[in-house]
Structure formats: structure tokens, C-alpha cells
């Protein structure tokens, strides 16, 4: 499943939740720098009373820190056993992740104790042997976390990618396995650095891609033989805006090399049932054509944006004639319905779709009788779906988790043959999944008349929403949906009386490809207008008020938030931004930065197109700061983040403080509002996607709560 990941280019300025649950994370120390709050510029009183006031404020701050730390830990402990898909089922064993490595249990002899397959401590020791300074190793690579696991077809080998907490680059390790317990001295037989994606074609052949400067352009083949190992290059992409990854069809018969830019894609296939394993092309790259390929009985099942309005539909073609001229329509969604993902399960094509009511549903197409397609309704509270990679032993069922930001994940299993949908009754009946909260889907009317969907969660009675604090989430870039998976701290806020709003503004992918296209390049400001309309609509409905509203965004989501802060700073009280992209103009003018060239399809080319420069200049958060009273802000940045350079965040923070200083200097004392807190939190390392360490994550959330509530 997750076929569209190859079309969304993983090198973008994106934010996503860590793959591992919070209960699996390791502990790191870090260095945090917090700036002093911006004080009223006319106030230079150093009297004893003001010193006492400052001391009292610091004491209250420390008390709040302790309070939130206790509450957050208790909340995470409550949800420490929620289901996930980190367990991998092989032919004979079940593989799972513990703190110090990967273990497995024999399905045939369950009474046996788990045996360790990979010891993460040994991986770190191996790195020390390369000659790197031991102190540097302790600081940068104290522990590893497992990101993904792949088993070879007959469980002869296991490959896994590992990540340290301060680096984005992944290390791939290959372990030799045995099928009979006890496992004979499992050890790493091969190590590959900077690996992004990887799949087994056979028990002894691993295909993988590597990352250099955030670009993934090369595919390699690792051959494991009794006489040794060899690596050869399979494919190299020459276009700087194309991202390359490998994936495996559900039946494991085809390996795909997916070469995708923001607006077009090209797929090469390798037939794993043949001996030569040579790639062949499906359809040459074509402007504005996006497609992804699955396999069924020597036919290609293709998800392509060849439907009405250049939206996704399903087509099919013979494996022997894969070119576009042979594509025959299989299913096109109805008006207002958007296909989000596709999988082939047995003789059925299973589609994840979003309906005109903005709810998730499954469309099931019997490939032998497409006219008998049917729909599987999912619970109305479902906002996110996570599919499970099929087991080696049985790929005839479709397993997935559904959740929402405040609803724990629930496991479901679909049997496509008879349409039987089963769920874990214990999970569904859990008291934690029966909280007294409401999920409401709303629409706001943007400046140009476009309806913008929102999702609202609340627990307080409707008549009490006016006094409820409101946390607004937004992203709106790269065609990515706003992350709406379960989040323990969001559940905590809900239980504390907060309302949570998720604004699905243009630029994201919630309403399909056209939703993204409307807010690309010269249409970027539409996302700002959409966000403004969402806030206006919430307030007009009696949901909270500007004085009780906080906005939160990550990475490219900071653009509409920062732009709105410049244009309408009194619409919110506080803002929290993680790894924020704030210097759009300066970044897109520098072709030497890693993502500038491929991001031109999203933001434009200000260096070569005067119209693009004018458009970016009109909304760029850094360029449009002006002397006025801004909301309080928490800016969390990472010192070595290559996706969002730290320099842009530093420039923004400095310019913002100067603007606030000027505002409070020139404005008469009697008319001054309370000065905002501007907090700059700089993390070490290059962890653009946020901390994976439990304590570090808690600390960041705690800072956010303090800025919102202090």
C-alpha cells in the first residue's frame, strides 16, 4: 500500500509523525537555547518590585513545567499499548522491535523464548571501528532506532534501516537468518549507509536507493553469494527535480523503480520471477502525468491522474504492453470523491478514498468482474488510515488501522472476497475509545468563494465553546494531507477543555490533485486566504475567540501561518512552529541549497521569473514583517537541518523582535498591549521531522503548552 508516497517525493519540506510508537523511543540528551521574552520596550524599571515580579514569573514558569511534564508522562503511559504495525510476519517467525534490537518468535513453537536477530549496540560498536572519535560517537550516535524491516522471500535474510536521533541519513544492515531455532550467531553481514528505500527481489538480491544532499537519484543492487558480496549500479536519474525510490508489488513479483517529480512520474519494473532482473520502462515521462503501478496475474493495475480534471483513476494494461496506449479504464471515482491510495489484494483492487462528505471509505473492485465494485463504509470518526505491509505467508486479506488525532487506533481486517470487515472488538470497546467528545466536519467560504473543509474536535457543551481555548492545525503544501493520526498530547488538550481544529487549506491533498494545483506557485496566497476564512468561520460559529486561539504548523506549513501573522496578527494569541520554512524568497533564490531546484514546481523560480519573485515577495513571512504587536511564538529549529536552513529561522526571529521593539517604542504607553513572548528553541542535529526520543518530544510539547498558556 502507500503507493502514493513515491509520487509525493520524500525529499520535500515535510513533516510526519515518527514511524515508531512513543513507547519504543530511546533517550538522548540535548542542548536547548531559549531566548528571553520580548519585553515592553518603554519599560526599563529595575525597581525591587519589578525584580520580585520577575522572580514570581520564573517560579510560576517552573511550576507549569513540572505540571505539564507530569501530565504528559501520565498521558503517554495511558496510551502505551495502542496497536501499531511494527510487527512483521514472516513465513515461520514473527519479528518485533524491542529497545535494544530486533527479536523474533517461532510461530510453530510459541513456547520458546524470543531470540535476538539484531543487537543495536553491536551496530554502534561497528561504527566505532571506522576510526571516528569515541566522544563524537557518544554525542551523535548513542543509540539507534529501527525504521523499517524487510524480509527476503524465504526468510533467509533480514534487512533493516536504522536512524540516530540527530541525523536524517539511514543506515541499512543486512542480517543472515536461519529457519530453525536456536538462531546460529546472527550477525550483520553487510552495512549500507545513506539508504532511503530497499526491497528484496530474491533471497540473495537486495535493491536499494541512496540519498546525497537530500536527492535520491541512484538505484543499486546488492548480490549476496557464498563467495562474497557485490554491488552494482542499476539506474541513475539525471533530472535534479526527480526523486527515486524502489517498492515491491504486493505479490512480490514486480519490483518498481519509481522516478517522480512534483508534477510527473516514470516507472521502471523488474520482474522478480525471471533470472536476469533487468528493468524495463512502463510509460516514458510526460508533462503532468503521475502514475503508480501494481501487479495482478501478469496485468498492470495502474493508478494514474488521467481521470476527469486530471484526478486519479484506475486503469489496467497487459504486462507485455505497459505503454499508455494500452491503458484501459477500470474505475473512475464519482464527482467529489478522491482516491488516496491503492492496493491489489488477491483478485481485488482496494482503494482508499475520501468521499464528498470528507469521510474515509474503501472501494473494492473485483478484477475479474469490475462491474461488481462495492463500497466499505468506515466509522465517521476515522481521519487517518495506516495500512499493513502484507505477511509473507498470507497476502489475501487487507489489514489496516484507523484513528483520529484524539481517537486511539483500531485494527481492521477486510476480506475482499466476501466484503467481510472485522475489527478488534477489545480495542473498540476500550474505555479510552469512548471519550465524551464530538467530531464535526465544517466548511468555510474563502475569499474567492471556494469551500474549505475543516475538522473540529471538542468535549465541552456547544454553548461553552466560546470560552474554550482553540488549537488550529494547518499545512497546505506539496499535495500532502494534514497529519491526523492519533496524538496523545492532543487527546490531553481535548480532555483539558480545548477545541482542536484542522484546516484543510488548498495546497494540501485532501480534495485531490486540483486542490494542490490551486495553491502552487502564483496561487500560494490562496492558502493564506483559506486559513483566514477558517478562523473567521470558527469564531462566527461561536468556537473560541482570537484571545484564546493558538496556531500550530510544521515545516512548509509555517508559510501560511507566518503570512497570516503579518497580515492579521490579532486573529490568534499564540503560534508554535516546528522546523519552520519562513524565508521562502531567500531560499528559492539560492540554487545551491538541496531542495531549491525540485521545489520550483511548488514555490516558483524567483531568480529566473520576475512574476514568481513578485508573488513570493507578497506572502513570504520573513519579507513582510512589519512593526506591530505579534502573537507569542515558539520557533523550534534544528542546527543542521538541510531542508529548512537555520539561517532563515534566525533571520526571522531577529527581524520579528526588532519589529516588536519598534512597535512598543513608538506607540504611546497608554495604548500598548501586553508584549508577546518570542521563544527560539534551537536543537542540535539535523532532525527535521522532530525528535524521536521520548523525553525530548515531551520537552518540545511542554514548551508549546507553556507558550500557548503562559
Supply the residues annotated as catalytic: 555, 641, 688
CA distances (Å), 473 to each of 18, 38, 298, 445, 535, in order? 18, 25, 44, 18, 11
Question: How many C-alpha atoms does 22 have within 13 Å on its Cβ side?
Answer: 23
State whether residue 647 is helix, strand or coil. Answer: helix
> What is the residue whose three cell numbers read 496523545?
488
Which residue, 536, 532, 618, 622, is CA-closest to 577? 622
User: Grid coordinates standing for 394?
Assistant: 498470507
Sign, CA dihedral 17-21-26-29, equals: positive
CA angle 581, 481, 377 (to 5 degrees): 170
Cis, bond preceding 109 (omega within 30 deg of 0): no
Total count of residues recorded for the chain: 710
For 351, residues 6+ apart whose C-beta sits below 8 A from its C-beta are 314, 331, 339, 340, 341, 342, 362, 363, 364, 365
Which residue, 104, 116, 143, 167, is CA-closest to 26? 143
Q: DSSP class of residue 501?
A: E
Helix (H) or strand (E) holding 198, with range, is strand 195-202
Q: What is the CA radius of gyration of the chain?
A: 26
Rounded Cα–Cα distance for residues 138 and 653 (Å)? 32
> What is the residue whose three cell numbers read 505497459?
322
Helix axes 48-78 and 694-709, enclosed angle (nearest 10): 130
Sort 362 into a burial class: Cβ within 10 Å, 0-12 / 13-18 / 19+: buried
- Alpha helices for 332-474 (secondary structure H): 425-428
Rounded Cα–Cα distance for residues 342 and 364 (Å)? 10
Helix axes 48-78 and 488-495, enclosed angle (nearest 10): 110
List of E strands, 73-194: 88-89, 93-98, 101-106, 115-119, 145-151, 157-163, 171-176, 188-193
Amino acid at each position: 500500500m502507500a503507493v502514493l508516497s513515491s509520487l509525493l517525493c520524500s525529499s520535500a519540506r515535510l513533516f510526519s509523525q515518527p514511524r515508531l510508537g512513543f513507547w519504543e523511543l530511546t533517550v538522548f540528551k540535548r542542548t536547548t537555547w531559549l531566548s528571553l521574552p520580548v519585553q515592553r520596550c518603554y519599560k526599563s524599571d529595575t525597581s525591587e518590585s519589578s525584580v520580585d515580579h520577575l522572580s514570581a514569573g520564573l517560579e510560576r514558569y517552573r511550576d507549569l513545567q513540572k505540571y505539564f511534564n507530569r501530565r504528559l508522562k501520565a498521558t503517554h503511559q495511558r496510551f502505551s499499548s495502542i496497536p501499531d504495525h511494527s510487527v512483521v510476519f514472516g513465513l515461520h517467525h514473527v519479528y518485533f522491535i524491542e529497545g535494544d534490537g530486533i527479536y523474533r518468535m517461532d510461530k510453530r513453537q510459541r513456547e520458546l523464548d524470543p531470540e535476538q536477530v539484531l543487537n543495536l549496540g553491536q551496530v554502534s560498536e561497528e561504527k566505532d571501528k571506522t576510526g571516528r572519535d569515541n566522544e563524537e560517537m557518544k554525542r551523535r550516535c548513542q543509540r539507534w532506532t529501527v525504521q523499517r524491516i524487510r524480509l527476503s522471500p524465504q526468510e533467509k535474510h533480514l534487512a533493516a534501516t536504522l536512524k540516530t536521533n540527530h541525523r536524517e541519513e539511514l543506515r541499512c544492515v543486512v542480517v543472515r537468518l536461519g529457519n530453525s531455532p536456536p538462531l546460529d550467531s546472527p550477525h550483520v553481514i553487510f552495512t549500507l549507509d545513506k539508504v532511503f528505500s530497499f526491497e528484496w527481489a530474491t533471497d540473495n538480491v537486495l535493491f536499494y536507493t541512496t540519498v546525497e544532499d537530500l536527492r535520491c537519484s541512484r538505484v543499486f543492487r546488492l548480490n549476496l553469494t557464498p563467495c562474497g558480496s557485490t554491488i552494482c549500479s542499476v539506474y541513475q536519474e539525471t533530472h535534479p527535480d526527480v526523486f527515486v525510490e524502489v517498492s515491491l508489488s504486493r505479490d512480490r513479483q514486480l519490483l518498481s523503480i519509481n522516478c517522480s517529480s512534483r508534477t510527473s512520474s516514470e516507472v521502471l519494473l523488474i520482474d522478480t520471477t525471471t533470472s536476469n532482473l533487468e528493468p524495463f520502462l512502463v510509460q516514458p515521462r510526460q508533462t503532468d502525468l503521475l502514475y503508480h503501478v501494481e501487479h495482478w496475474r501478469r496485468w498492470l493495475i495502474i493508478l494514474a491522474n488521467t481521470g476527469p480534471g486530471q484526478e486519479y483513476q484506475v486503469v489496467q494494461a497487459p504486462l507485455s504492453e505497459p505503454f499508455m496506449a494500452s491503458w484501459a479504464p477500470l474505475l473512475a471515482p464519482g464527482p467529489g470523491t478522491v482516491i488516496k491510495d491503492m492496493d491489489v489484494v488477491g483478485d481485488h483492487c482496494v482503494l482508499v478514498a475520501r468521499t464528498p462528505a470528507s469521510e474515509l471509505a474503501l472501494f473494492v473492485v473485483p478484477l475479474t468482474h469490475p462491474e461488481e465494485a462495492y463500497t466499505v463504509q468506515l466509522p465517521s470518526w476515522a481521519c487517518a488510515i495506516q495500512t499493513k505491509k502484507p505477511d509473507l505467508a498470507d497476502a489475501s486479506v487487507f489489514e489496516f488501522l484507523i484513528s483520529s488525532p484524539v481517537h486511539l487506533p483500531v485494527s481492521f481486517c477486510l476480506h475482499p472476497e466476501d466484503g467481510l470487515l472485522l475489527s478488534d472488538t477489545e480495542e473498540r470497546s476500550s474505555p479510552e475509545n469512548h471519550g465524551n467528545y464530538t467530531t464535526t466536519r465544517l466548511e468555510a467560504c474563502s475569499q474567492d468563494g471556494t469551500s474549505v473543509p475543516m475538522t473540529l474536535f471538542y468535549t465541552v457543551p456547544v454553548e461553552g465553546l466560546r470560552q474554550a481555548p482553540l488549537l488550529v492545525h494547518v499545512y497546505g503544501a506539496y499535495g500532502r494531507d494534514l497529519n491526523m493520526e492519533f496524538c496523545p498530547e492532543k487527546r490531553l488538550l481535548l480532555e483539558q477543555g480545548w477545541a482542536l481544529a484542522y484546516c484543510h487549506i488548498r495546497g494540501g491533498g485532501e480534495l485531490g490533485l486540483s486542490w494542490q494545483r490551486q495553491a502552487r506557485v502564483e496561487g500560494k496566497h490562496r492558502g493564506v486566504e483559506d486559513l483566514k476564512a477558517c478562523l473567521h468561520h470558527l469564531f462566527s460559529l461561536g468556537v473560541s475567540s482570537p484571545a484564546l486561539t493558538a496556531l500550530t504548523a510544521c515545516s512548509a506549513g509555517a508559510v501560511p501561518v507566518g503570512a497570516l501573522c503579518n497580515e492579521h496578527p490579532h486573529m490568534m494569541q499564540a503560534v508554535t512552529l516546528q522546523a519552520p520554512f519562513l524565508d521562502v524568497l531567500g531560499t528559492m533564490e539560492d540554487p545551491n541549497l538541496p531542495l531549491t531546484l525540485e521545489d520550483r514546481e511548488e514555490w516558483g523560480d524567483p531568480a529566473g521569473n520576475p512574476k514568481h519573485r513578485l508573488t513570493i515577495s507578497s506572502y513570504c513571512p520573513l519579507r513582510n514583517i512589519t512593526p506591530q504587536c505579534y502573537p507569542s511564538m515558539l520557533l523550534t529549529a534544528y542546527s543542521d537541518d538541510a531542508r529548512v536552513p537555520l539561517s532563515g529561522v534566525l533571520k526571522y526571529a531577529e527581524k520579528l523582535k526588532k519589529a516588536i521593539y519598534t512597535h512598543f517604542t513608538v506607540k504611546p504607553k497608554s495604548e500598548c498591549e501586553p508584549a508577546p513572548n518570542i521563544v527560539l528553541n534551537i536543537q542540535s542535529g539535523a532532525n527535521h521531522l522532530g525528535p524521536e526520543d521520548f523525553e525530548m518530544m515531551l520537552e518540545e510539547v511542554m514548551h508549546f503548552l507553556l507558550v500557548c498558556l503562559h
